[in-house]
Amino acid sequence: MADCASAIKAQGEIGSEDFLVTPAMRERVRVELEARRLHIGDQAFAAAGSYVDRQLGYDIARDMFGDAAATRRRLLDDRQMKAALELVEHGASEGDLIRLGRSHND
């Protein structure tokens, strides 16, 4: 996917770290795989769409904005990080966070 990320970077369509991976970008991955004689059926590729989008997003972020941007993007996709951020957003004190954390795990 790194080759695809470089090609997308060259197009100049990405302006910020919070870009969205588009269906056209995902299709570029599919075309690249086919060019390398890696044939993936339509259903399998469609089923892997969200995975492809995440991985391509990480590669584009790294290529365009550096390792820190790719790490930030990964953290935003991380389930545990999302849960922790949700707890912090809803807790006013340490005690609130502990109570929220306990209720979140039940």
What whole-number percentage of the chain has pLDDT above 90?
A: 52
- Closest by alpha carbon to 23, among 55, 2, 46? 46
Whether the per-residue pLDDT at 45 is higher than 80: the answer is yes
pLDDT of residue 93: 75
Six-digit token string for 13: 């369509």
The domain limits of the chain are 2-77
pLDDT of residue 106: 57
Instruction: Kindly tell me the sign of the dihedral angle through the C-alpha atoms of 28, 32, 35, 38.
Output: negative
pTM for the predicted model, two decimal places:
0.74
Assign 22 to helix, strand or coil. Answer: coil
What distances in angstroms separate CA 17 from CA 5, 34, 69, 72, 103, one per listed residue?
A: 13, 28, 7, 9, 34
Give yes or no for a contact between 60 and 16, defined as CB atoms under 8 angstroms apart: no
